Chains A and B, each alone.
Chain A
Amino acid sequence: MAHILDDRLLQISMAGAHERTIEGGKASLAGSVSQRACVFCGSRVVLYPIADALHLIHGPIGCAAYTWDIRGSLSSGPELHRLSFCTDLQETDVIFGGENKLYDSLIELINDHQPKAAFVYTTCIVGVIGDDVERICKQVATEKGIPVIPVQAPGFQGSKKDGYKVACESLFKLVGTLNKPTPANSINILGDFNLAGELWILLDYYKKMGVHVNATITGDGRVDDIRNAHNAALNVVQCSGSMNYLATMMKDEYNIPSMRVSYFGIEDMSDALYDVARFFKDDDMMDKARELVRFEIGRLLPELAWYKERLQGKKAAIYVGGAFKAISLVKALRLIGVQSVIVGSQTGSTEDYELIKNLCDEGTIIVDDSNPVELAHFVKEKQADIFIGGVKERPIAYKIGLGFCDHNHERKEALAGYEGMINFAKEIYATAMSPVWKFTRNTPTP
């Protein structure tokens, strides 16, 4: 097992009642080519979609350059989030401090763009050189009359998941600072990032049910909606890894209950609607939800049956950021006849992996914080046909002749909701059935 480092053995298991429990949340091993990113990355991706806020990265240029316009998070209005601002610290700043540069940058950018709030991300070296970012933020907030929120995200302070927590703490500073008239049947949508307009699909469903959506955090997000988020009756949380912290804090402070949902696949999508109707104990809402689900499924099933007939027996490997998404993907793939033979995530918890263990067919490999060497080995061992992952997994799949479906935040196709399920089936079909695999099968190993 040269492909697996000894210290990683506890993070790999298989489906089945007697298999080992995976320990989630462990730090990545030094020297392994982890697919995870850092604390900064975690905070940046979560806050990124807030479209009328200024996002300023306080640090050297790399962190800003690599996160410029990277998510497919759409906005129905302002697009300030698609610009990348950085204090671009130089050697002299590292020696003498970057506080003045931070102050001047904030003032000029706020003057130029008139944002509703500003987020200031601190990166690795700011944590080391000791700039008093809190003080500068406070000063600028007073001078400019908008919230200026430090996002303390030095990369070394953990992994991407810790960055989610930092982002939630920053968001929590906004929550409760504005009161707008808010209907009683209001929910906040947490953890959808409006990739390829997915949020808008969901908004349409909830609207048809008679549910009022108050704040969307953070997809197509707006500062004032987040400030008013405490007036909603319920937090509906997707991508629980990133947003659970915020939901918990809002429960503790404002007594807002929350529920975990997923919008991928028919079952989970329908549950997300039914659960909300059930929460409001509203028969009319439930009837409308049933009607919607009936209509959508009626439309969907014949189409999915067509794909299922053709994809039956194909095997998939899943390696994505969050474990909850992986669970939905296993179920969605079953709907189209595809069996998951490898299921892994970057940030799953022990409990998530237990769920996956029980959900998957016996023999399915389950893995936490994997790396290219392992993944390439697993897909060969399990003879997977298709890989579902992100940008960093794509070349692994392609180089060894597997189909690939991008389910990461860069995707340009909506995969959520009922429409998303069809797009997903189409994409899996396209990648599984392409005639180009004839040539890869004929190509001998060099």
Chain B
Amino acid sequence: MKTAEKTYVSTRNSCKLCAPLGASMVFKGIEGCVPLIHGSQGCATYIRRYLISHFKEPVDIASSNFSEESTVYGGSKNFITGIDNIIRQYKPKVIGIASTCLSETIGEDIPGHIRHYREVREGSVLPEFVHASTPSYCGSHAEGFHNTVLSVLRTFAQSKGNQQGLTVLPGMVTPADIRYLKQLLTDFSIKGMVFPDYSETLDNVYTSEYELIPSGGTTVEQLISMGDSKHVIEFGTTFNKGHMRSSEKNSKQTPGEWLETNCLVQNHAMPLPIGVDASDRFMQTLETITGTPMPDTYAKERGRLVDAYVDAHKYVFGKKVLLYGEEDLVSALADWAREIGMEPFWIKDTDFETLREKAHDVKPDLLLGNSKGYYIARELKVPLVRLGFPIHDRFGASRMHQIGYRGTQELFDKVVNALIEYKQENSPIGYKYL
């Protein structure tokens, strides 16, 4: 007899993080940008700690350091001091301001603060300002990410009527993925831009000096000219439709849709290109946009991936894989799992404890997701292949490449080998030959 499932009021071991974290990642993808979190000091510190542990890079995020006084009388004074101090120490080109649950609840008018600051400091050379509304009580870090991409485009993108080139909005992918996309655009010989581009700012080379703002990122000029792109490709299927604040104008639009409606950029929305089918769709779109066939390098990568699928298909067939993470990523992974004959399993809008309880019924052969699900894999004694965000218990999260044929290849090899290793380690024989 099936018993009624218990539903919880509380969240137990959350799968999601808060919206200002997503905003901070996007701001780190703008050249010369320092993020400022308008709220209590802890928000910036926690988010820094979380990002640093994943990217293994310095992540400087300023805070307006709300006090009791600013909470009662408003954060205007802290805002001005905060901006002054950031400019003095960092000399940024852009300051990206994310709100928090506190500043939203007390009704802080950040656009008003920015206007006021410009008035007060009239005559000085000031950086650009961009603001995203990211209260922690709406949505998750993923929605915070998408909402900030939208806010940045709305702030900068301008249509001057000379539509050309391509903008790619990849969503929350890895620095390695962004580098791959930039190379891909070069290889297709198209004038293209990627936003956000934290491929260097969050995966920097050894510098020997402390770079106040790491080099790299999408430039303001590029952001402005995105309004003049002919096409935009955006990955992900969920975005922030309806998740974020209703008071945020146009929040029901994805960034790509916004560009289409406001700047006449043709939008091509598609799932994250993980797997042959999804990557084919992406490549075909690029072929249509550019009018050039896929370069041979990529055709070879596709061929090798299919070859690898054939070689290893029996090791993955029928295997149950438990997926968790951002919705865009999970839905792409589910399609990919089906593509290679695995049985994907996931729960929408859940927490890790619910997932753990269900996992005991499902009995997955493998977990695929970030490092926070490790305790479930450990309890079930099954392998965990790490991808997504955060990865706090391994090195190389920034260098994980997981999109396109080559990224899928890396992922596929990892999954196959994890299953083989599991079998090998649990075998009484200890074979060393397949």
Which residues from chain A sit less than 8 Å from chain B, CB to CB? 2-3, 5, 27-41, 56, 59-68, 83-91, 93-94, 101, 104-105, 108-109, 123-125, 127-129, 154-160, 371-373, 376-377, 380, 391-392, 394-396, 398-401, 439-440, 443-446
Give chain A residues whose Cβ lies under 8 Å from the Cβ of B16: 61, 65
Q: List 25 A-B contacts (CB under 8 A).
A: A5-B85, A30-B65, A39-B42, A41-B46, A60-B135, A60-B136, A61-B17, A61-B18, A61-B136, A61-B140, A62-B46, A66-B50, A68-B372, A83-B353, A84-B12, A101-B9, A156-B68, A156-B71, A372-B58, A373-B60, A376-B209, A396-B210, A399-B58, A401-B206, A446-B207
Per CB-CB distance, the 9 closest pairs between chain A and chain B, nearest first, are: A38-B42, A62-B18, A31-B85, A376-B210, A155-B40, A31-B82, A60-B136, A105-B10, A30-B82
| Known contacts A65-B16, A66-B49; A31 and B86 CB within 8 A of each other | yes
Are B14 and A84 in contact, with the CB atoms below 8 A? yes
B52 and A394 within 8 A (CB):
yes
Q: A101-B9, A399-B210 are in contact. Are A156 and B102 (CB under 8 A)?
A: yes
Known contacts: A33-B44, A65-B14, A400-B210. The answer to whether A60 contacts B9 by CB under 8 A is no
Complex-state Cα separation, A29 to B81, whole angstroms: 8
| Contact of B106 with A91 in the complex, beta carbons under 8 Å | no
Residues of the A chain whose Cβ atoms lie less than 8 Å from the Cβ of B79: 30
- Specify which chain A residues have a CB less than 8 angstroms from the CB of B140 in the assembled complex: 61
A445 in contact with B102 given A65-B14, A66-B47, A88-B14 (CB within 8 Å): no
Residue in A2, A28, A84, A89 whose Cβ sees the most chain B Cβ within 10 Å: A84
Q: Does B302 contact A (CB under 8 A)?
A: no
Query: Do B207 and A399 touch across chains, with their CB atoms under 8 A apart?
Result: yes
Chain B contacts for A400, CB-based, 8 A: 207-210
Known pairs A62-B136, A155-B40, A372-B60; A109 contacts B10 (CB<8 A): yes
* Docked pose: A124 CA to B44 CA in angstroms: 14
Identify B11's interface contact among A64, A127, A444, CB under 8 A. A64
> Are B13 and A31 in contact (CB-based, < 8 A)?
no
**Closest-CB distance, A150 to chain B (whole angstroms):** 16
Whether the Cβ atoms of A391 and B9 lie closer than 8 Å is no
Contacts of A62 in B (CB 8 A): 17-18, 20-21, 43, 46-47, 101, 136
Cα distance, A37 to B39, chains bound together (Å): 12
| Residue pair A157, B81 in contact (C-beta under 8 Å) | no
- Flag if B105 contacts A29 (CB, 8 Å): no
Q: Are A395 and B56 in contact, with the CB atoms below 8 A?
A: yes
- Pick from B16, B41, B78 the residue with the most CB of A within 10 Å: B41
A39-B102 Cα distance, complex, nearest whole Å: 14
Of A33, A62, A86, chain B has the most CB atoms within 10 Å of the CB of A62
**Interface residues on chain B, size class:** 35 or more
Answer yes or no: B233 CB below 8 A from chain A CBs: no
Please give me the residue from chain B that is nearest to A105 by CB atom.
B10
Contacts of A156 in B (CB 8 A): 39-40, 66-68, 70-71, 102
B205 contacts A by Cβ under 8 Å? yes
Whether B84 is near chain A, meaning CB under 8 Å from some CB there, is: yes
Alpha-carbon separation in the docked complex, A34 to B86 (Å)? 12
**A30 to B: closest C-beta gap in Å:** 4
- Would you call B62 and A28 a contact (CB within 8 A)? no
Contact between A108 and B8, CB atoms less than 8 A apart: yes
Contact assessment for B89 and A373 in the assembled complex, using a CB-CB cutoff below 8 Å: yes
Residues of chain B within 8 A of A123, CB atoms compared: 101
Nearest-neighbor residue (CB-CB) of A379 within chain B:
B210
**Which residues of B282-300 have CB atoms within 8 Å of chain A's CB atoms?**
none
Find out whether the CB atom of B85 lies under 8 angstroms from the CB atom of A30: yes
In the assembled complex, B146 has its CB within 8 A of some CB on chain A? no
Chain A residue nearest to B44 in the complex (CB): A33
Question: Is B163 an interface position by the 8 A CB rule?
Answer: no
Whether B406 sits at the interface, judged by CB under 8 Å, is no
Q: How far is the CA of A62 from the CA of B215 in the complex (A)?
A: 29
A256 to B53: give the CA distance in the assembly, Å.
41
Residue B184 CB within 8 A of the other chain: no
Are A445 and B46 touching (Cβ within 8 A)? Answer: no
Report B85 CB to chain A, min CB distance, Å: 3
Q: Which residue of B lies closest to A395 (CB)?
A: B58
With contacts A41-B45, A391-B49, A392-B49 known, is A128 near B210, CB below 8 A?
no
Contact status of A86 and B10, CB under 8 A, knowing A94-B105, A125-B102: yes
Chain B residues with Cβ under 8 A from A401's Cβ? 206, 208
- Measured between beta carbons, the chain A residues less than 8 angstroms from B372 are 68
Contacts of A40 in B (CB 8 A): 40, 42
Complex CA distance for A32 and B102, rounded to whole angstroms: 19
Residue among B45, B68, B85 with the highest chain A CB neighbour number at 10 A: B45
Chain B: which residue is nearest A400 at the CB level? Answer: B210
What is the bound-complex CA distance between A441 and B287, given in angstroms? 46
- Decide yes or no whether B317 CB sits under 8 A from chain A: no
Instruction: Check if B48 is an interface residue, CB within 8 A of chain A.
Output: yes
Add 12 more A-B contacts to A31-B81, A124-B71 (CB < 8 A).
A29-B65, A30-B82, A34-B63, A60-B101, A60-B136, A61-B16, A61-B136, A61-B140, A62-B20, A63-B42, A87-B10, A108-B9
Most chain A C-beta atoms within 10 Å of own C-beta, residue among B16, B42, B101 = B42
Distance of A89 Cα from B14 Cα, bound (Å): 13
- Shortest distance in angstroms between A442's beta carbon and chain B's nearest beta carbon? 10
- Residues on A with C-beta less than 8 A from B18 are 60-62, 65
What's the Cα separation between A101 and B88 when bound, in Å?
44
CB neighbours of A160 from chain B (8 A): 42
Q: Which of B11-41 contact A (CB under 8 A)?
A: 11-14, 16-18, 20-21, 36, 39-41
Residue of A nearest to B205 (CB): A446
B50: nearest chain-A partner, CB-CB? A66
Smallest CB-CB separation from B20: which chain A residue? A62
Instruction: Quote the shortest CB–CB distance from A270 to chain B (angstroms).
Output: 34
A156 to B86 alpha-carbon distance, docked (Å): 20
CB closest chain-B residue, reference A376: B210
Does B312 sit at the interface, judged by CB under 8 A? no
Closest to B12 in A: A85
- Max chain B CB contacts within 10 Å: which of A2, A39, A59, A91? A91
A88 cross-chain contacts in B, Cβ below 8 A? 10-11, 14
Contact A33 B62 (CB under 8 A): yes
Whether B47 and A125, one on each chain, are in contact in the complex, defined by CB atoms closer than 8 angstroms, is no
CB-based contact B89/A61 at 8 Å? no
- CB atoms of A124 and B100 under 8 A apart: yes
| Among candidates B42, B84, B210, residue contacting A373 with C-beta atoms closer than 8 Å | B210
Given A35-B45, A84-B14, A400-B208, A105 and B68 contact (CB-CB distance below 8 Å) = no
CB distance from B225 to the nearest CB of A (A): 27
Residues from chain A with a CB closer than 8 A to the CB of B65 are 27-32, 34
CB-defined contacts of B45 to chain A, threshold 8 Å: 34-38, 41, 392
- Contact partner of B105 among A37, A83, A125, A380, CB < 8 A? A125
B212 interfacial by beta-carbon distance below 8 Å? yes
Closest Cβ of chain B: how far from A137's Cβ, in Å?
15
Q: Check if B63 sits within 8 Å of A155, measured CB to CB.
A: no
Does chain A have a CB within 8 A of B204? yes
Nearest chain B CB to A20's CB is how many angstroms away? 22
B106 touches A128 (CB 8 A): yes
Cβ contacts under 8 Å, A37 to chain B:
41-42, 45-46
Name the A residues within 8 Å of B102 (CB-CB): 124-125, 128, 155-156
Looking at the assembled complex, report how far the CB atom of B254 sits from the nearest CB atom of chain A, in whole angstroms.
21
Indicate if B138 sits at the interface (CB-CB under 8 A). yes
- Please indicate the chain B residues that have their CB under 8 angstroms from the CB of A84 in the complex: 12-14
Does the CB pair B13–A155 fall under 8 Å?
A: no
B48 touches which of A28, A59, A155, A392 (Cβ 8 Å): A392
Does the CB pair A440–B10 fall under 8 Å? no
Which residues on the B side are within 8 Å of A159 (C-beta)? 41
B66: chain A residues at CB < 8 Å are 124, 155-156
CB contacts (< 8 Å) of B13 on chain A: these are: 68, 83-84
Task: Given the known inter-chain contacts A64-B14, A400-B208, A401-B206, please indicate yes or no for A59 contacting B67, CB distance below 8 A.
Answer: no
B398 within 8 A of A: no
With the chains together, A40 CA to B49 CA distance in Å? 15
